[in-house]
Structure 1
Amino acid sequence: MRLAELSTRSGVSRATIKYYLREGLLHPGRRVTTTEAEYDEEHLRRLRLVRALIQVGRIPVKSAREVLAALADEDLDRSQRLGTAVWALPHGPAPDERDPATEAARRTADELLERIGWSAYAETRGRANGGADGGADGGADGGAPLPPAYAMLVTAITALSRLGYPCAADDLEPYARAMERIAASDLDLVERYGTPDEQVEAAVALTVLYEPVLLSLRRLAEAEESHRRFDSR
């Protein structure tokens, strides 16, 4: 297909496609004349992923480039490629190491994750040499960095604790168990795609696109439960 058809099928303007090509987010098409190139279904799939990352997920171009580089790294297996790509996505603020509540929050996070037995986290934690003071940037002894999502969890628990809201491992465990079921549903969707490359790309896109779905469904569910419990009518 030519650029015009690629634009029509993807819903991305030709000017934006040319920008993505210049930035290396989309690999060049097969040159057919000095001024025109031909694109295929792989370009269309990659363009939809780039659109999900940048236009929908509001991810900076630099971060999107890092995600795409991770997806293309054939030295990694599917799990590693997905983990590396998700790691490159934007995350919330790192824990404030000057806050005395941060260390207690980290202990709560560790207790929670060890209790539910998430082995991928445990392996990463081990590579970080148990670096409690390293946060998302690495262990205290300069070990491997911890997942940004772990740093987000510590920051969130710190805020809850500071404001006096329930945030012990017992309070958080039901949420973690619910996330296990959601993660299984996520990967069930991913496995509908045919090739490993398509699966990893879909996993990244769905990570970005389904987070607003999860937030909206949670708010709707809370409204429904509140109606059931408290509505005297």
Structure 2
Amino acid sequence: MTLTTLGFDADDTLWENERFFKLTQERFTELLAGFADPDHLSERLLAAERRNLRIYGFGIKGFTLSMVETAIEVTEERVPAHVIEKILAAGREMHAHPVETLPHVRETLELLAPAYRLILITKGDLFDQERKLAASGLGELFDGIEIVSDKTRATYERVFADYGDGPERAMMIGNSLKSDVVPAIEAGSWGVYVPHELSWDLEHADEPAGTDRFRQVAHLGEVPGLLKEIL
């Protein structure tokens, strides 16, 4: 069946994202060095992020609040006010960081845009994702933009029906097996995994088994060739 619609993830697929979270977490570890060893602090922060996802959702704001919560917990409510202030400042700096697009992104989207409907499907904070998309200069290449609270099978069923000809005639491309590939394949789409060197622990998942609609490429520039191969 001919593919008509291509979905693209944003963070760490189109532009750098996780690297800034890792750098901020290193700074957080330095700030709390006198209260907890790095491994323990990392475990506590990850637990706070997991716990807070259903409240704050994905993105910088939730990450910043989870850092504050962790700082209060590991210091038994003795964290100095100036440390909290620096944590909040680190969160603000993440929001202000320039957008760095990944290699092969623009030329790949420009090559594919005339032949397919391109849909950006990303999760996270609405304000921050809109900011990054505007700063990237890539928005005009997409036929639709979907910023969602999470990515599930139902998400892809709805988005590919709204913007395309249904999930069976669509392909989702992204760096997360858990969010971009597995649920898209469950919806009936193709799922293409584009690994990034950094990955958030809560996005880990196994490769889908028992399907011929899963592919992996080294970078986004290989997607046009993949499309010619499978069609």
**What TM-score comes out, normalization by structure 2 length?**
0.26
Which has the higher Rg, Structure 1 or Structure 2?
Answer: 1
More helix by share: 1
Higher relative contact order (CA 8 A, sep 6+): 2
More strand by share: 2
**What TM-score comes out, normalization by structure 1 length?**
0.25
